Amino acid sequence: MAQPKKNSSSPAAQYFAEVLRMLRTKAGLSQTELGERMAYTGAAVSAVETCAKPATDEFIEAAEKALEAGGLIAAAAKYLRLERYPEYFQGFVQLEQDALSVSSYCNQLIEGLLQTEAYTRALLSCDFPPLDEEEMAQLTLARMERKALFDRKPVCVVNVILDESAVRRQIGDRDVMRAQYTHLVEQAERPNLDIQVMPASQGAHAGLRGAMKLIETSEQATLVYTEALGKSLLISKADESGLLARRYAMISRQALRPEESVDLIGQLAGEL
């Protein structure tokens, strides 16, 4: 006899499915009837209730309205959105969403907050073991959603330092890179964003020990996040995070000024 398939969905997804099922049942609606109210099929509702498919933001919004849930369903969006990220990155995303400032030094790739969708997809297509299309779509969507940070109120100040090798590394084809450079130049016009490039001509510099992200929390504490090989480390001890904050300040001083950095990126775009 075949064994029942183990439910591999996250606890958040399972809880949402149960709440949706309970509210639908309380309203006296079948899956098909709820689907009609939401402009979805009954099969789509069933897929979410059985955790066969994740609930999208659009699905959550439609269910909230159709069931007049008083915010109960809508509240799940924040937690389900986190499930789109790798487990090791979820804690950082939660901190990033509420940060006063986020500062990053990237030595291999362009900062995720500044990636175009095409760049992200090209990058994920190189992953190993290979990702399937659904995983790529979910991770790409999650990365694009992080950009809400730029327009958030209260404003978040974002500082990004890119090693020149990270900027020059071709991810995808020439069209992908040309669009990525154009995007960087356009984003640099944001008043709450500074982009700097650490030039190859600098040689030895303070950032050679590796990439890092600094978060200034709403309590004005400084946290430092690093990751490698699918593992992450969050440094919260004041003496350790303070040392790394000073290192970041030195990296910033050694990098090109923002206007010089934008000029260099524009030149690279012109070379393609």
Could you read off the pLDDT of 21-54 as tens digits, one per residue? Answer: 999 999 999 999 999 999 999 999 999 999 888 7
Q: What is the mean pLDDT of the chain?
A: 91
pLDDT tens per residue, range 187-235? 999 999 999 999 999 999 999 999 999 999 988 899 999 998 888 999 9
**Weakest mean pLDDT among 94-98, 119-123, 244-248:** 94-98
pLDDT tens per residue, range 130-167? 999 988 998 998 899 899 899 989 999 999 999 999 99
Residue 227 host element (H or E):
strand 222-228
Chain length of the chain: 272
Instruction: Read off the pLDDT band of 9 (50, 70, 90).
Output: low
pLDDT given for residue 5 in this prediction: 36
What's the N-to-C CA distance of the chain in angstroms?
60
Report the candidate in 84, 147, 141 with the shortest Cα–Cα distance to residue 113.
147
Task: List the structure tokens of 259.
Answer: 């206007």
Task: List the structure tokens of 46.
Answer: 């069933």
Instruction: Read off the pLDDT band of 251 (50, 70, 90).
Output: very high
Residue 10 has pLDDT above 80, yes or no: no
pTM over 0.75: yes
State how far the Cα of 72 lies from the Cα of 264, in Å rounded to an integer: 49
pLDDT tens per residue, range 47-82? 999 988 878 878 888 999 999 988 888 887 777 777
Strands, sheet with 231-235, edge to edge from the N-terminal-most edge strand: 193-198, 157-163, 101-106, 212-216, 222-228, 231-235
Where would I find the H helices in the chain?
A: 11-26, 31-38, 42-49, 57-67, 76-82, 87-98, 117-124, 133-145, 164-168, 174-187, 238-254, 258-271
Contact 254/205 with Cβ under 8 angstroms? yes
